[in-house]
Amino acid sequence: MTARNVLKPLVRAAMVTALIIILGLFPGIPVGIIPVPIVLQNMGIILAGELLGRRYGTLAVGVFLALAAVGLPVLSGGRGGAAVFVGPTGGYLFGWLLVPLLLGSLLYHLPVQPTRHWWWELLIVWSVGIFFVDLVGAGWLAIQAHLAFSTALISNVAFLPGDLLKATFAVFLSRRIRKIVHLEAGGANQ
Ligand code: BTN
């Protein structure tokens, strides 16, 4: 393996981390019913799994979350610090860390190739990037905010329209990028 092949996916991971941080410049929009805002950063998390696969996608998201944990203001609204991880949105952040692992595994490591059909890819991205994250997020929110799990979960309906749009756009963008850039050499298959 050449130095170029080692560096390429690392540079791509760094670019995706930067993209997630940039998406955080858009302040979160409060929904009122629960203390969890509508954000754009979850689109970047999906892109990490889509474009980088499980290993480098997890690296990109892991670095982003580590920066947030040490206190850098990289989360929407300029937030950061370890306390965020035990706050109302902690479950969503934990879910984000698992998204590239799950997405990468389902998209690139099955005998079938879901990426050959856009509707399969969309279904997988919706399931992992939206429904899985909402499940984990609502689970922790229920504990943290002393809510019934069903109440916490149903509140996530407020995110659905936006999340469906963001996830669909991420799939569209990833499919275009994959056509232009050959990610197999050191990205999506890793
Ligand atoms: C944070 O910045 O502390 C994490 C915010 C988590 C927001 C969740 S992610 C899934 C759902 N969709 C959104 O737009 N907001 C919530």
Q: Is the CB of 75 under 6 A from ligand 1?
A: yes
Distance, C-alpha 102 to centroid of its chain: 11
In the reported structure, the alpha carbon of residue 96 is separated from the centroid of ligand 1 by a whole-number distance in angstroms of: 9
Interval 42-101: pLDDT, tens: 999 999 999 999 999 999 999 999 999 999 999 999 999 999 999 999 999 999 999 999
Burial 156-167 (b: 16+ CB within 10 A, else e): bebbeebbeebb
Q: Is the CB of 163 under 6 A from ligand 1?
A: yes
pLDDT confidence of residue 181: 86
Q: From 23, 31, 39, 46, give the residue whose CB has the most ligand 1 atoms within 8 Å, as the site to mutate.
A: 39
pLDDT confidence of residue 21: 98
Of the pLDDT bands very low, low, confident and very high (cuts 50, 70, 90), residue 3 is: confident
